[in-house]
Structure 1
C-alpha cells in the first residue's frame, strides 16, 4: 500500500486530466445580454479560502489570468478522486489538481474557478481575483461568461452528497451570477470548441446552473451530484431573494431616518 500522501496525489492525477484543453478564443456571445428578468440581486460573497492559504504553487503558473463577461452560467464538476479524505487534506488535493492541470495538461493555471471540499469549505481556484470574471478552463466550449466549480471527490457511484456541499455550491452561484440572472432559468451560450457536445458556433440552451456532462461527453459531476442540481438552483434563488429583501429593508430603514 502506498503512503497516504503519495496515494492522494496519484489518485487525483488521472481524473484531474479529464477536462480537455480549451484554447483561448475571442469573446463570443450567443446573443446580446438581455435585460434582467427579475429584480433579484447577487447574494453576499461566501467565505473563501485564498490561494495563499492553500499554498498554491505560483511558480508553475504560466500566464496571467484572462477575463470574460459577467457570469451568466455556472458549471458544476467533481474532481473524481476518493471521498475518503480528511477535510484538512483538501489543500493538498487542490495542489495536486493544480499540478495536474498545469504540468499534465499544459494549461496556464488550475482550470476551475472555485473548489469545494466535502465539508463545504470553498477554495479559490484559478488566479485573477475572486470578485472578477476570470475565464477558466473547466468546460470545453463554454468557458466564456461562466464559472466552473469542482467538488473534491467522486460522485459517480451513488455517494451521498453532503448537505454542506450543496449549500456551498448554491452560495457561490447566488453570489457570482450577474444580477438579474435566475439560477432556476435557462441561458443561451455559443460553443467555442468542436470538442464539446455542441459544434463551434452552435448556440446551446442550457440551465443557468448546469453539470459538466451537459456540454461534454463525460459522467462528471457524477450522478449523485448531478441529481442535486435542482436543489442547488432552488437554494441559490432563495439566497438571492433573501438578499433582495434585506436590501429593500435596509433602504426603507435608511429612508425612515430622514
Structure 2
C-alpha cells in the first residue's frame, strides 16, 4: 500500500486542523454522545453513580435458598430504581476461565415500569478478543465476559447466574458442578443520549495527542475531517480513489463501489474511552462475519446507541483497547465504522481470537441462531467486503491462508486455508455468527464478487 499504509501507521502523529462536522444527512441514524466524566472507587472500578454515557459495575452475591434454581451454586442481584441503562453483561476476573452455566436477566422498562421475562445471555464470549501474545491480549487487565445484551431504556434489573445449568454447560449427569468464575460483576451500560461529541480545538498539533483529532485524521483520505459519514461512491470514482490510495494498483482491478459508512463521529464514539493510538496489520486478506449476540429488540434508529453500548462494554467492562469489530451492520443495511484507525486501512481488530492478523471483522447487530438476517444486512456485508477486499486485491469467492495466533481449533503457527469471506466459527469453535447468518455467507460471497465486477 504505497504511501497509504505508511501514513496510516503514523496516523496519531499527523497534524490536522479539525473542521466543524458536516450536517447530518436525513438518511443517517441519529448519533449520540457519551459524557467524559466517570466516578471510580478506590479499586478503580466504576461505582453506581451514573452520568449520561456511563458504566456501573455491581458485584454479584450468593442468592438465598428460596431463589435458587437448583442445588448448584448461584449468584445474582436484584436492583430497582437504578440509574437508567440500556445494555447489560456479566464479567469476571480471569478471561481464561469459562462460565460453565447459565446467565439470565430480566429488566424493568423505564417507560412502562413493567418487567420483562427472563432472557438468556450468551455466556461464551471468549471466542472474540485479541490474539494471544499481542499487547492487547496480554495487558493483564482483560476480563472474561458474557456477550452484551441490549434491553432498552431500563431502571431495574434482576440477574441470576447458575453454574452447570443450561445447554452451554459441559459434563454428564452426576459430574461435579463446576464452580462459577471468581469476581462476577453485573455491568449496566448507559450508551448516552444522542448528540455527537464536540470537535477538538482547531489546533493541528493536537492530532498527536488528542484521540478525537487522531480518529478524524485516520479517515481524512476518505471524507472531510469530522464528517459524520464517508459518502458512497460510484465505481469510477472508487477506482480513482483506489489508485490514489494504493499507488500502483496492478493486480487490483476488481473493486466494489465504496458504500456509505457512518463514521465513529457519526455514531457518537467518545474517543477518550479507548486506548490511544492504533494497531495495524499488513493487509486485509479475509473477512470474518459475526453477530453481536446482543438480542433482536433494538431498532435501526437505535443502532448508534447499541454500538456505543458495545463499545463501552468492550473498553470499560472487558478492558479491550477499543471496540473489537472493524465494522458493524444493522438490520436496515447501514454500515458503521468500528475500531478506530481508518476505514480503508488494515486495522487489527479483536474479533476472531487467533485470526485478527491480516483480516477484518464485520458484525451484524443482533442474534441469528434462529432469527433470519435481513436482506439489507446481507447486501451491506457484500458491498462492504467487495470494497475493502478490493483495496487489497482479494477475491470474495476465493480462498486464502492465514496463520493462526492460537485458539481452540488451530494451534499457534498453523497455516490455515479459509474462505476469503468466512464465518467466525471457521476460525474458532463457536456458534457465532449464528446458524441462520452463517448459512447465508455463500450468497454474500457471490454478491461481493459481482460487486467487484467478477464473473
With normalisation by structure 1, the TM-score equals: 0.81
Distance 1:49 1:79, change over 3 A: same
- C-alpha spacing 1:62/1:240, structure 2 compared with 1 (3 Å): same
Q: Is 1:216 aligned to residue 418 of structure 2?
A: no
> Secondary structure in 1 aligned to 2:267?
coil
Asked whether the 8 Å contact 1:170–1:235 carries over to 2, the reply is: yes
- Note if contact 2:130-2:352 (Cα within 8 Å) is conserved in structure 1: no
* Partner SS for 2:361: strand
More strand by share: 2
Aligned length: 230
Structure 1 runs of 4+ aligned residues shifted over 2 Å read: 5-8, 11-17, 20-26
Q: Return closer, same or farther for 1:69/1:16 CA change in 2, 3 Å cut-off.
A: farther
Per mean C-alpha deviation after superposition, the further-off stretch among 84-93 and 14-23 is 14-23
The residue number in structure 1 matching 2:131 is 22
Aligned to 1:168: 380
Structure 1's unaligned 5+ residue stretches are 27-35, 245-258
Give 1 or 2 for the bigger CA radius of gyration.
Answer: 2
- The residue aligned with 1:130 is 343
The 5 Å alignment of 1:1-258 reads: 8-10=86-88, 15=122, 18=125, 19-23=128-132, 25=134, 40-157=253-370, 159-177=371-389, 178-193=391-406, 195-241=407-453
Q: How many Å apart are 1:95 and its aligned residue? A: 0.8
Give the distance between the partners of 1:102 and 1:16, measured in 2 at CA: 18
Deviations 1:210-249 (A, max 9, x none): 000111121000000000000000000000017x9xxxxx
* Structure 2: stretches of 5+ with no match in the other structure: 1-79, 92-120, 136-248
Verify the 8 A CA contact 1:16 1:79 in the aligned structure 2: no
Alpha-carbon separation, structure 2, partners of 1:57 and 1:102? 11
Q: How many Å apart are 1:69 and its aligned residue?
A: 1.6
CA pair 82-52 structure 1, distance change in 2 beyond 3 A: same
Note the C-alpha offset of 1:106: 1.3
Shift of 1:180: 3.5
Q: Is the 8 A contact 2:395 2:420 kept in 1?
A: yes
Instruction: Give, in angstroms, the shift of residue 70 of structure 1.
Output: 1.8
In structure 1, how many angstroms separate the alpha carbons of the residues matched to 2:123 and 2:341?
A: 21
Task: Provide the aligned C-alpha RMSD in A.
Answer: 2.7
